Structure formats: C-alpha cells, structure tokens
C-alpha cells in the first residue's frame, strides 16, 4: 500500500478551509488542521486537529513538521475585525507560518491570498497576475505584504506558490454568498451594487488550490477566478436559477461612494453586512473588477464552472441555515 500524502491546513475551520479538508480526506490524504480552541470544527472528525493559533509557535511547528504541503488559508477580513487584527493575522500570521516551515522539511507551501491585490490597469477590462495594484485598506495591504514574504521564502528557503481566489461563492459563507443569494431571492432586500466582479464556486477554488500544489511553479502566483459578471447580471442569474425575484431598488454609485455611514444604516436595517466598509472599499464596489484566470488555466489545468452550477448547493444551505 502506498503511504498517503500529508497536508497541514491553516484556516481549516473556515468556509474555504473546511471544504479543502473534506476534499483532501475524500482523496485519501492525511490531514492536519489548525484550530483555535473556540473554532467550530464541524464534522471534520478525520482531521488531526492541532489546537492553537497563528501565534502559537510550538503548535505551528508541530503542525507543519515533515509535511508534504502546508495550505495556509487562515486569514481575516475587515468584515470581522479591525485593521490592527487584520494586519496581525494576515501579515504577521503568515510570517509565523513561514518561520515554522523553515527547517521543518516541508515540501511546499500554498498560500491563499486574494485577487484584491491585483486590479485591471490602463483601460484593460481584466486584471491578471501582473497587474499589481496599490492596496486599498488593511486587508489588501496586509495580504500584499504576506505575498512578499511568501515570494521571499520561495526565493531563499523553500518552495511556495500563491493563489488569488476572486469572490468565492458556496454554502457556509454567511457574508458574500448569503448577501448575493438574498439579493437574488428576497425582493424585500433593499439594494444591490453597481459595478461587477468575478464569482468563483468554492469547489472550483479547492480544485485550483490542489492544482497549484501539484503543478504550480515555486514563486509563481495564480488567479483562481470564475465568471466575470456585473452585480445586476449575477443577481438576475441567481434569481433565475433559484426561482426568486431579484432586488429591485438600485443604490446609485455616488451614494455608495459617499458612504461609510449610509452603508451602516443599510446594514442595520437589513441586519446583515451588505457593503464593504470604509470609503475606499466602497469606491471599489462600484467598479468592474474582472479577472483573467488564463495563467492558471494554461499552467495548472484550472477550470471553473458557470455560476448556475454552484447555485443549487448554495441555495440548499441558504434555505436551511440563513433564511
Ligand atoms: N471568501 C472569499 O471570497 C475569499 C476570496 C479571496 C481570498 N480569500 C482568502 O481565503 C482564505 C479563507 O477565507 P474564508 O472565506 O474561508 O474565511 P473564513 O471562513 O473567515 O475562515 C478564516 C479561517 O482563518 C482562521 N483564523 C482567523 N484568525 C486566526 C488566527 N489568529 N489563528 C488561527 N486561525 C485563524 C479562522 O479560524 P476560526 O474558525 O477560529 O475563526 C478560520 O478557520 C483567507 O485567507 C481569505 O483572505 C477568501
């Protein structure tokens, strides 16, 4: 019998990480997961849990020791924490993971950053990996610095690739996915955004992360995107696929751009976070942030499914857990 491959996953208790763990287990991997004492581990009973956080160096070293691959997904956004914590977790946490990987006989590190560190440039409709953008806000800035740390690790100490998912859609995501579904199926929801985005199903991102482990080149970056859609189009396609009626009231771009406080009022009314928060992030929501996944497609064999392929599973979760 061949020995199974071994993976260590940070962020294993999160939306994307739990899905990655499920997939690794299904594929016969031995999986170690980092979990905070308070984390909800769901039904991932076959994961070997290492209890601690990104700042617990001893646990991190045990987690990564002798492993084939470290999937570093733990991260935090401005939805859930203030800028200081965002910096600590995303940049300093990545530094601690890389530190633990040095001299620990780790095969490869696959770091999950965000497409947000790239933006379309010079009138182009789509951004690719080369379109490095001036970061907006603590989330993008901390991820950009973490990417630089990972690049340096790949240059000097080890083997590492970085993936950049766009907006991930799937069951279990109470932020972006729940918002988008609510706009598609609840006619009472107050607003939807101008602008556009790339929406990628969570199962496609998991495939892309595994492909980056298997076929990525150390030091390289790969955008893992999905369909590029205006918000209007995304909402109406969800409505068609889910049999709802899309939100009818459109909030003008100017209102959103003006908007930290307006956004907060809408959030309070809707009892859910609808908008990204500071003024700069609000500005981004009014733009078309479209991405090309061509490099991942050519070099990793990455493919993504249309939005409709991901709606039924997400809808089933939404009806059961959110609505
Ligand atoms: N969702 C998206 O649309 C999207 C798009 C692009 C990139 N990404 C990136 O993908 C990664 C996963 O995102 P997600 O959507 O799955 O987020 P998520 O559901 O919020 O999961 C985040 C994970 O990080 C863990 N974590 C946070 N702070 C930690 C700390 N101090 N020590 C140890 N673990 C910590 C969380 O643990 P707890 O369970 O204890 O909270 C959780 O397991 C993140 O790096 C994110 O930036 C996400």
Shortest-distance atom of ligand 1 to CA 12: 43
What is the spatial distance between Cα 61 and Cα 64, in angstroms, rounded to a whole number? 5
Domain assignment present for residue 77? The answer is yes
Q: What are the angstrom distances between the C-alpha of 187 and each of 102, 125, 174, 245, 275?
A: 52, 31, 19, 6, 18
89 alpha carbon to ligand 1 midpoint, in Å? 10
Closest alpha carbon to 158 in 56, 52, 67: 67
Q: What is the pLDDT of residue 236?
A: 86
Q: Which atom of ligand 1 is nearest to the CA of 167?
A: 3
Q: For the segment 5-33, what is each residue's pLDDT rounded down to a tens digit?
A: 999 999 999 999 999 999 999 999 999 99
Domain count, the chain: 1
Distance in Å, CA 173 to ligand 1 centroid: 11
Q: Is residue 11 part of a domain?
A: yes
Distance 299 CA to ligand 1 centre (A): 26
Q: Which residue has the higher pLDDT, 261 or 305?
A: 305
pLDDT tens by residue, 240-263: 898 766 655 555 565 555 555 445
Cβ-based neighbour number of residue 43 at 10 Å: 7
317 falls within a domain: no
Question: Where does ligand 1 bind, in terms of residues with CB under 6 Å?
Answer: 11, 13-17, 34, 36, 39, 53-54, 73-76, 89, 93, 112, 114, 165, 167-168, 176
- Number of residues assigned to the chain: 323
Q: Which residue's C-alpha comes closest to atom 26 of ligand 1?
A: 74
In a domain, 93, yes or no: yes
Which pLDDT does position 254 carry in this prediction?
59
Looking at the CA of residue 116, tell me the nearest atom of ligand 1.
Answer: 6
Known active-site residue 143: yes
The residue with tokens 């995501």 is 173
Averaged pLDDT, 284-299:
91
**Which residue's C-alpha comes closest to atom 1 of ligand 1?**
168
Q: In CATH, what number is assigned to the domain containing residue 72?
A: 3.40.50.720
74 domain residue, yes or no: yes
Q: Considering the candidates 121, 143, 283, 295, report the single residue annotated as catalytic.
A: 143
pLDDT above 90 coverage of the chain, percent: 68
Judge whether 257 lies within some domain. no
Residue 146 has pLDDT above 80, yes or no: yes
Is the model's pTM score more than 0.75? Answer: yes
Count the Cβ atoms, other than its own, within 10 Å of residue 130. 9
Return the residue whose CA atom lies nearest to atom 23 of ligand 1: 11
Rounded to 10 degrees, the C-alpha dihedral 238/241/245/246 comes to 10
Cα of 199 to ligand 1 centre, how many Å?
18
- Residues 166-195: pLDDT tens digits? 999 999 998 889 888 888 887 655 556 678
**How many whole angstroms from 77 Cα to the centroid of ligand 1?**
8
Task: With beta carbons less than 8 A apart as the criterion, state whether 138 and 115 touch.
Answer: no
CB of 60 closer than 8 Å to CB of 100: yes
Q: Which atom of ligand 1 is nearest to the CA of 80?
A: 20
33 belongs to a structural domain: yes
Query: Is 263 a member of any domain?
Result: no
16 and 76 in contact (C-beta within 8 Å)?
no
Please give the residue range of the domain that contains residue 141.
Answer: 6-168+199-225+291-305
Query: Can you give the pLDDT at residue 269?
Result: 46
Number of H helices, E strands in the chain: 13, 12
């Amino acid at each position: 019998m061949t020995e199974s491959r071994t993976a260590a996953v940070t962020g294993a208790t999160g939306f994307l990480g739990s899905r990655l763990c499920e997939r690794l287990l299904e594929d016969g991997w031995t999986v170690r997961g980092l979990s905070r004492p308070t984390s909800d581990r769901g039904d991932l009973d076959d994961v070997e849990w290492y209890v601690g956080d990104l700042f617990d160096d001893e646990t991190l070293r045990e987690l990564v020791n002798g492993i084939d691959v470290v999937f570093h997904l733990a991260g935090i956004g401005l939805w859930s924490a203030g800028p200081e914590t965002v910096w600590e977790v995303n940049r300093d946490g990545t530094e601690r993971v890389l530190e633990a990987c040095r001299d620990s006989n780790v095969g490869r590190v696959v770091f999950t950053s965000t497409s947000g560190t790239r933006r379309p440039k010079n009138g182009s409709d789509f951004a690719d990996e080369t379109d490095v953008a001036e970061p907006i806000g603590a989330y993008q800035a901390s991820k950009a610095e973490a990417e630089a740390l990972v690049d340096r690790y790949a240059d000097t100490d080890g083997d590492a690739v970085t993936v950049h998912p766009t907006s991930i859609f799937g069951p279990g995501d109470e932020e972006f996915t729940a918002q988008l579904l609510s706009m598609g199926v609840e006619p009472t929801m107050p607003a939807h955004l101008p602008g556009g985005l790339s929406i990628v199903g969570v199962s496609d991102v998991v495939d892309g992360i595994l492909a980056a482990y298997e076929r990525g080149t150390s030091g390289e970056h790969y955008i893992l995107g999905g369909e590029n859609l205006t918000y209007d189009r995304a909402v109406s396609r969800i409505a068609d696929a889910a049999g709802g009626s899309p939100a009818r009231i459109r909030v003008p771009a100017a209102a959103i751009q003006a908007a930290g406080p307006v956004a907060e009022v809408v959030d309070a009314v809707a009892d859910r976070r609808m908008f990204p928060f500071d003024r700069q992030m609000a500005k981004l929501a009014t733009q078309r942030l479209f991405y090309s996944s061509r490099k991942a497609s050519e070099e990793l064999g990455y493919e993504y499914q249309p939005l409709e392929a991901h709606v039924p599973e997400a809808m089933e979760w939404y009806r059961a857990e959110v609505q």
